[in-house]
Amino acid sequence: MVRINEEIRKEYTIKPPPSHLIFEYGRDSMEEYMEKHGYAMESSYARRSEETKERVEAIKREGLDFYIKEEAMEKILRHCYEQALKGRESMGFLVGDVRKWNDVYAVVYDIATASLEASSVYVRFHREAFEELFDALDEIEYEYVLLGWYHSHLGYSSFMSSIDMETQRTYFTQPYHAALVVDPITREMKAFRIINEECVEIPYAIFR
């Protein structure tokens, strides 16, 4: 017989949010950020197939509570750029910690990814690649939380498709979870979460 003894809930670290922000969504331009870091692609790389993506309209919400460390951002953009050069979407987990100051907020310190089954319109982890993924998670030396996931679109722009929404709904339902959608061709990156069954675009910041 299987019997649950107790749940041990991870306690939020009490700490003020990062203060050295080098990018704030809404204030700064992601296009310029990508250009500056060498991850902006030419439109000739767009891989629009006959398949269309079903765009889920998002409402915008104010209130910054999602922070990404510069090094993690670099890894995300590099991964999306390199996959886009091959005409494929990219994907990985956003790894970090949940903290509390006045409110709860998320801090992404790392990413974890592995070999992908990817096309220009679809992506998931390769079925044989989970060991790689576990290795990536085992390299993280703190009690991590998967704060969400990132993936790329190749020239379709940054939005949540119906498949993306299903992933978000299945796995990332906590108030601090988010999905980052990067499009290195239209040079956008937006963050989304589901609130009350609605797709909501949220602000994010990159910190050093």
> Residues interacting with other proteins, by CB under 8 A?
1-10, 53, 89, 91, 93, 98, 121-125, 130-131, 133-135, 137-138, 143-146, 149, 151, 161-164, 166-167, 170-174, 177
Could you tell me the smallest distance in angstroms from the CB atom of residue 208 to other proteins?
Answer: 25
Q: Based on CB atoms, which residue is closest to other proteins, 28 or 117?
A: 117
Q: Which is nearer to other proteins, 34 or 145 (CB)?
A: 145
> How near is the Cβ of 65 to other proteins at its closest, in Å?
16
| Amino acid code (one letter) for 203 | P
Within 13 Å and on the Cβ side, how many CA atoms surround 143? 7
**Residue nearer to other proteins on the CB measure, 15 or 36:** 15
CB of 79 to other proteins, least distance (A): 13
- Nearest distance from C-beta of residue 34 to other proteins, angstroms: 19
Residue number with CB closer to other proteins (161 or 186): 161
Between the CA of residue 133 and those of 44, 57, 73, 76, 107, what are the distances in Å?
Answer: 32, 31, 18, 15, 20
Our CB check for other proteins shows the closer of 5 and 43 to be 5
Q: Is 166 helix (H, G, I), strand (E, B) or coil?
A: helix
With b for 16 or more beta-carbon neighbours within 10 A and e for fewer, the 61-98 pattern comes to eeeebbbbbeebbebbbebbbebbeeebbbbbbbbbbb
Question: Shortest approach of other proteins to residue 93 CB, angstroms?
Answer: 8
Residue position matching structure tokens 């009350």: 196
Q: Tell me the one-letter amino acid at 73.
A: M
